[in-house]
Structures are given as structure tokens and as C-alpha cells.
């Protein structure tokens, strides 16, 4: 069998209306719950870190963190964007069957993020990358702001890539695979949040990556047209964990 190895709230104004974020969340795709496939997501050997006795639960948050406290997802923009010769994101015509609409800029498409797409694509080219990153941070904040800091950048990219509910389900499935008794319902309730604090962040990010990979293969079996996307999706999952899952 093939093995999949890898290495290794509102704050600052974005120039985009809050309603764009609400509109995008309402439109997000909710993928089906992940099922296991015969393909393993395993980490390559890493240098041994200093041994710790466990991941201690952080103090309960007294107030919702400001969006400015969340990471700026410029890495997501770099992964998603097609760029001009100067390195600025361009409007890209999506191929037939992409299911994300007709056009996108830095992964922000005209089907699920129509107002943000329109606003960002109208900006001068040199302003688009930061505006896209700010929009992604705002869109993903409802999920990301609830997670421990070591997981935030990783979950931010996963939530933009597969929607807030999709990312929550992958995290929950990862928790179940790590022995935690939580429902896979796409909602980060008190039980899920408590379970997150009972496991090592890196182990959970790896398990959530496996859950997404399983789901991608499950969807491809149901819809053969998606098989052509699998290599790109595998690379995206691998790059996310390798870049953002090392803590």
C-alpha cells in the first residue's frame, strides 16, 4: 500500500466590509465526514525535542482575542495565488469543474467569496496580497481564535482551504483518532475544546491532516472527476503540515 510521507473579534480594519465575511461563511462548502482510506499520513523522523511531560491546558480566555492577535496568513496567499512578473496576485480563470466559480484571486473565488473577490481584484496589484491575507484572517477568525496558539496558523490555512465546518470536522476526527471521545459535527463546542487541550498540538495537526486526506479520497471515489485534483491536494496537505505544523 502506498504511504504518504511528509517532512518534518475585530481588530485592524481590512478595508473589506464585515458583511463579506458573513456572506462567505454562509456560502462555505461543508464536506462530508471523513472516512478512512488505505493511505497513511505519517511524519518523517524528526530531531528529538526536549522531553516534556504533557501539554498543559491554557488558562481560560476571559475575553475573545482580537483578530490582530491571530497570524497574518500570507503563507496561504502564497500557496493559493497565481502571480504576475512582479509577484503580485492576479485574477485567475478557474478550469471547468473546479466548483469554485469562474474566477479567483489568491484562492478567494467569485462563488463563495463574491464581494471579497470583487473588492480585492479591483485593488492596485501591489495591494492585493495583504488585502487577501487580511480577508482570510477575518474569515477564519471564528474558528482560529478558539484554538491554542501553536495550532492557529495551521488551522487558519485548513479552514480557508476547506471551510470552517470542514476544518472543525477534521480536527474532531483527529481527536477521535487520538483517543478523545468527541462528536464529529463540525462545531467547536466545550467538549471539543477541552479535548484539544488534552493532546499534543503537533499530534493533533498530523491526525487532522490524515482526516482531510481520507476525506479527499472519499470524495474522489464518489466523484471520479475529483481524482485529477488529488495530487495537488496531497501536496497542499503535506506543505501545510511541514510548514505550519512544526512546533
Chain segment 9-52, per-residue pLDDT in tens? 333 444 454 445 445 544 443 344 444 434 555 554 444 444 43
pTM assigned to the model: 0.74
Task: For residue 78, count CB atoms less than 10 angstroms from its CB and return exposed for 0-12, middle for 13-18, buried for 19 or more.
Answer: middle
Q: What is the pLDDT of residues 140-192, one digit of tens each?
A: 999 999 999 999 999 999 999 999 999 999 999 999 999 999 999 999 999 99
Q: What is the largest distance, in Å, between two alpha-carbon atoms of the chain? A: 51
Q: What is the pLDDT of residues 179-227, one digit of tens each?
A: 999 999 999 999 999 999 999 999 999 999 999 999 999 988 998 888 8
Identify whether the C-beta of residue 1 lies closer than 8 Å to the C-beta of residue 175.
no
Identify whether the C-beta of residue 162 lies closer than 8 Å to the C-beta of residue 170.
yes
Number of H helices, E strands in the chain: 9, 5
Mean pLDDT of 61-85: 84
Give me the phi and psi of 6, to 5 degrees please.
-130, 155
What is the rounded distance in angstroms from the CA atom of residue 61 to the CA atom of residue 217?
A: 37
∠ at Cα 182 (140, 213), nearest 5°? 60
Amino acid at each position: 500500500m502506498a504511504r504518504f510521507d511528509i517532512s518534518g473579534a475585530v481588530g485592524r480594519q481590512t478595508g473589506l466590509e464585515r458583511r463579506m465575511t458573513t456572506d462567505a461563511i454562509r456560502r462555505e462548502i461543508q464536506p462530508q465526514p471523513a472516512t478512512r482510506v488505505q493511505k497513511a499520513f505519517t511524519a518523517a523522523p524528526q530531531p528529538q525535542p526536549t522531553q516534556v511531560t504533557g501539554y498543559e491546558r491554557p488558562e481560560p480566555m476571559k475575553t475573545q482575542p482580537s483578530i490582530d492577535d491571530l497570524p497574518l496568513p500570507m503563507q496561504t496567499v502564497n500557496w493559493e495565488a497565481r502571480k504576475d512578473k512582479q509577484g503580485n496576485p492576479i485574477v485567475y480563470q478557474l478550469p471547468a469543474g473546479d466548483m469554485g466559480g469562474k474566477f479567483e484571486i489568491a484562492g478567494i473565488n467569485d462563488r463563495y467569496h463574491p464581494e471579497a473577490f470583487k473588492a480585492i481584484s479591483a485593488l492596485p496589484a501591489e495591494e492585493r496580497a495583504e488585502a487577501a491575507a487580511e480577508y482570510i484572517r477575518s474569515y477564519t477568525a471564528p474558528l482560529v481564535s478558539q484554538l491554542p496558539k501553536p495550532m492557529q496558523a495551521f488551522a487558519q490555512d485548513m479552514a480557508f482551504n476547506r471551510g470552517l465546518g470542514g476544518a472543525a470536522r477534521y480536527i474532531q476526527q483527529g481527536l477521535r483518532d487520538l483517543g478523545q471521545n468527541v462528536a464529529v459535527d463540525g462545531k467547536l463546542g466545550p467538549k471539543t475544546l477541552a479535548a484539544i487541550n488534552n493532546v499534543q498540538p503537533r499530534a493533533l495537526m498530523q491526525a487532522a491532516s490524515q482526516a482531510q486526506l481520507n476525506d479527499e479520497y472519499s470524495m474522489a471515489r464518489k466523484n471520479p472527476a475529483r481524482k485529477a485534483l488529488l495530487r495537488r491536494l496531497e501536496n497542499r496537505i503535506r506543505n501545510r503540515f511541514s510548514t505550519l505544523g512544526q512546533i
